[in-house]
Amino acid sequence: MLDCGLDMTSTLNFLPLPLVQNPRLSNLPGWSLKDGNAFLDKELKECSGHVFVDSVPEFCLPETELIDLSTVDVILISNYHCMMALPYITEHTGFTGTVYATEPTVQIGRLLMEELVNFIERVPKAQSASLWKNKDTQRLLPSPLKDAVEVSTWRRCYTMQEVNSALSKIQLVGYSQKIELFGAVQVTPLSSGYALGSSNWIIQSHYEKVSYVSGSSLLTTHPQFSVVFQPMDQASLKNSDVLILTGLTQIPTANPDGMVGEFCSNLALTVRNGGNVLVPCYPSGVIYDLLECLYQYIDSAGLSSIPFYFISPVANSSLEFSQIFAEWLCHNKQTKVYLPEPPFPHAELIQTNKLKHYPSIHGDFSNDFRQPCVVFTGHPSLRFGDVVHFMELWGKSSLNTVIFTEPDFSYLEALAPYQPLAMKCIYCPIDTRLNFIQVSKLLKEVQPLHVVCPEQYTQPPPAQSHRVDLMIDCQPPAMSYRRAEVLALPFRRRYEKIEIMPELADSLVPMEIKPGISLATVSAVLHTKDNKHVLQVPPRGGWGPPPRPAQPTGGKKRKRPSDDIPDCKVLKPLLSGSIPVEQFVQTLEKHGFSDIKVEDTAKGHIVLLQEAETLIQIEEDSTHIICDNDEVLRVRLRDLVLKFLQKF
């Protein structure tokens, strides 16, 4: 299984979970059907012209119907955003396999899960809505609830216990480490340049190679994005039979550089006017790019006195982690780990008291809180986490601004339950993953035989149907797939590698049949275990039948492994070469045959010995001697034929 992501857009259908008692959200009118039927009014509430589910938010799980997940042996994780559904799979499907991921992926993934669990558990909600999920009922609901897919599979958030159990099933791996999977294939994680510990995977056998490229970034030489991680390893992706490509940028028209510029400018303008800036974000990832950029920017923009707050239950751990994973950073940052200067500049922001971090709005934060300020906090869906509080607090003033930088959620949908809103909303999605120009360069460089990708990447975005530059353009055209589609990858396993034991190899006598090509016959026992094949020296007895093991004296006759070895017959030599017809006829004549006639056939020749009423049919790969019950004559002729062939 490649990655294990969680679709969190389902939470947009739910009401936000406020951290403090919120009269507005707790007194919303219930929703009733057009005919006045109000049986759903406990579950569905009307808010700002939209209908929301009033319940603990639920998440949309990976497809579980198509295959039995208990039969999955291995899950490969490419980055910390792509493992959020792991507890659902490892704890509730009978999964007994192994999960492979790099160490930073696991550690930061744990933080993301921990934050999620914390956000939801700290504001317990008694109510769990399920009536609305009934298919007949759902049809009657307004959009987008009506169109939500697979609502019956939506689940509440997992617990910390489940998270811990899931993470314990992960096997840590390092870049370029080769991991044997049951002898059948070897998998290797490669740096993908997107996030701390993010990887692409190579899955290869001796004769086939599949690359899984997910969430990669080439922005390594980019000043804004600071050459944070090890650059994407492209060279190792070469010679792939199939390249599975996913996790491209979600916003192909917005270049990250320009967006960071927008972010900074809008931030400065708001703060300058005495307003506050709210940045809904995850506790790791883009936030580091933003902090690094702000670090360079705040002095030039005259913002040195403005406090920056980072509020997350895992803020402290996140800030610390990013400073210690030296081996996962790019060379430039690696060297800084061993210097007094920290690799990421946010450490300096913290030291100089410009950046302060808190686990939540309660406690120390309320004492230190000073306005105008900039707050980084989750969750980007605006449905839970401390961000809900700030939306309620600052939403009424047009001096304040909320800047959306995470591309995962539609900002309009995220804002829907907060309308009408006076605060300014700026959408600066920052997605450093590959865009289509970079994909095109990558494919030219790597030259896979086939590209497999989601259907969406093979056509222009629906809203910009003329932008044919915003799709994958490669030869042969990419094979696309859609949800729940079963796709046969375009290669067949035709060869297996077989090893020969040294003793056996020693005994071989190769014969050169063409310059550079030698042949040898091998008689051996093929030993196959864990998808590995080895030719071993056959048991004693050489070419003859193997000796029967001594019968056990008394007792029952037991079948033993060696009994399975088939009897080796005395082998006739193998023949090679071709028979030159003219010389063969001359030889026949020399040996007293006369009245010889040669006929050409489609496949070779027929030599007729008319007198002897015998026919020799010579074809490329067979020779038949057809004579009427004259075994002596046949053997004579056979020996003449054999003279022209090589034996070994």
Partner 1 sequence: MDPECSRLLPALCAVLVDPRQPVADDTCLEKLLDWFKTVTEAGPSLLLLQENPCLVELLFRVLKAHDPRPRVLSFSLRLAGLFAAQEDCFQYLQGDSSLFVASAAGQLLVHILALAMRGPAEGHPSPQGCDWPACAQKIVCHVEDSLRSTATPQVTQALNVLTTTFGHCHSPWTQGLWVRLSPLVACLLEKDPIPASHSLVDLLLSVARSPVGSSDCGLWETLAQTLSHLSPTQAGPLALGILKLQDCPQALKTQAFGVLLQPLACVLKAAAQAPGPPGFPEGATGDSITVDTFLSSKSACVGLLCQALAHLELLQLLPQRPSPWPQAPLLRAAVAILRFCHGSAAPTSDVGGHLCAVLAGCVRVQRAALDFLGTLSQGTGPQELVTQVFAVLLEYLTSPDSSPMVLKKAFQATLRWLLGSPKAPSCCDLDPHTQLFLGELLPVLRKRLCSPCWEARDSGLEFLTQVTRHWGGQAAFRHALLASEVPELTGQLLRDPESYVRASAVTATGQLSSWGLYATPTGPEHPEVQQESLFTELLHILSTDSEGFPRRAVMHVFTQWLKDGHADVAEDLEQFVARVLQAASQDLDWEVRAQGLELALVFLEQLLGQPGSRCPYAVALPEAAPPATLAQVLQALCRVQLFEFALRALFDCDRPVAQKSCDLLLFLKAKATPCGGPQEAGASPDVVSVEAALQRWQAGEQGQPLGELEPEAVMAVLRSMDLEGLRGMLAKSSDHMEKSPQSLLQDMLATVGVLGENEADCY
Q: What are the residues binding partner 1 (CB under 8 A)?
A: 224, 253-255, 258-262, 264-266, 268-269, 272-273, 293, 296-297, 299-302, 428, 464, 466-469
Nearer to partner 1, 227 or 470 (CB): 470
Between CA 411 and CA 413 the distance in angstroms is 5
As measured in angstroms, the least distance from the Cβ of 443 to partner 1 is 16
Between CA 395 and CA 373 the distance in angstroms is 15
Q: State phi, psi for 469 to the nearest 5 degrees.
A: -80, -15
As measured in angstroms, the least distance from the Cβ of 469 to partner 1 is 4
As measured in angstroms, the least distance from the Cβ of 474 to partner 1 is 14
SS3 (DSSP) at 63: coil
Q: 524, 536 in Cβ contact below 8 A?
A: yes
Nearer to partner 1, 61 or 290 (CB): 290
Write down the H helix ranges in 315-370. 315-324, 331-337, 346-351, 364-368
SS3 (DSSP) at 116: helix
Between CA 390 and CA 421 the distance in angstroms is 12
Nearer to partner 1, 254 or 641 (CB): 254
What is the bridge-based pairing of β-strands 623-626 and 614-619? antiparallel
As measured in angstroms, the least distance from the Cβ of 494 to partner 1 is 39
Nearer to partner 1, 152 or 464 (CB): 464
As measured in angstroms, the least distance from the Cβ of 271 to partner 1 is 10
Nearer to partner 1, 198 or 224 (CB): 224
Q: 276, 393 in Cβ contact below 8 A?
A: no
As measured in angstroms, the least distance from the Cβ of 440 to partner 1 is 11
As measured in angstroms, the least distance from the Cβ of 93 to partner 1 is 44
Nearer to partner 1, 426 or 637 (CB): 426
Nearer to partner 1, 73 or 348 (CB): 348
SS3 (DSSP) at 166: helix
The DSSP result for 29-59, as a single string, is: PBP--TT---TTTTTEEEETTEEEE-SS-EE
Nearer to partner 1, 321 or 457 (CB): 457
As measured in angstroms, the least distance from the Cβ of 328 to partner 1 is 27
Q: 314, 114 in Cβ contact below 8 A?
A: yes
Between CA 314 and CA 109 the distance in angstroms is 11
Burial of residue 17, with CB atoms counted within 10 A of its CB: 0-12 exposed, 13-18 middle, 19 or more buried: buried
- Tell me which DSSP letter residue 516 carries: T
Between CA 482 and CA 7 the distance in angstroms is 16
